[in-house]
Amino acid sequence: MHADSSKSAATYEDLLKVPDHLVAEILDGELHATPRPGLPHARAASVLGGTLGGPFDHGMGGPGGWWILFEPELHLADDILVPDLAGWRRERLPRIPAEAYMAVAPDWVCEVVSPSTEALDRVKKIAIYAREAVSHLWLINPTTRTLEVLALESGRWVLLSTHADRGSVGARPFDAMAFELGTLWSGTSQG
């Protein structure tokens, strides 16, 4: 679902009318409604959130210092985004607000790309993340079993590394601890 260019910019009220079985976002004034992700996508996001959450969010056996949230609704300027995972350094965000959305740009975002969202993730959303000075971006593709690690440098995304299939990965900003990449797709028909 895309807004007609002759119409005014999409509003939050437009977003609220989208059925719950779709993920709704407003990017550059356009309403985008995409299907909920497939199970390999959900598996990768869930495993990664659990893997990072223990040592970085809860400080269990790791450095702590982060808030890591699944599918937070971000209100950044006039855009409303729903990344798969996002993280805030606690030194920048001491407490999680009580609202249903976050108006503070994250320090790290992870988008798990799928065929229905890849163009939005790789074009519109990363441009917004750069504009909002999100420092780190991970792009995970469960179909190709890859992880791309990007960092924002002088307002531009720089590819730091690409990891494929399996192996131990320690990637910024969570390079204090490594994790096994293959766990993101283990148990799926592709893993």
8-33 confidence digits (pLDDT tens): 899 999 999 999 999 999 999 999 99
Structure token pair of residue 115: 């065929």
Q: What is the pLDDT of residue 6?
A: 53
Q: Answer whether 85's CB lies under 8 Å from 70's CB.
A: yes
180-189 confidence digits (pLDDT tens): 999 999 887 7
Q: What is the pLDDT of residue 127?
A: 98
121-150 confidence digits (pLDDT tens): 999 999 999 999 999 999 999 999 999 999
pTM for this entry:
0.92
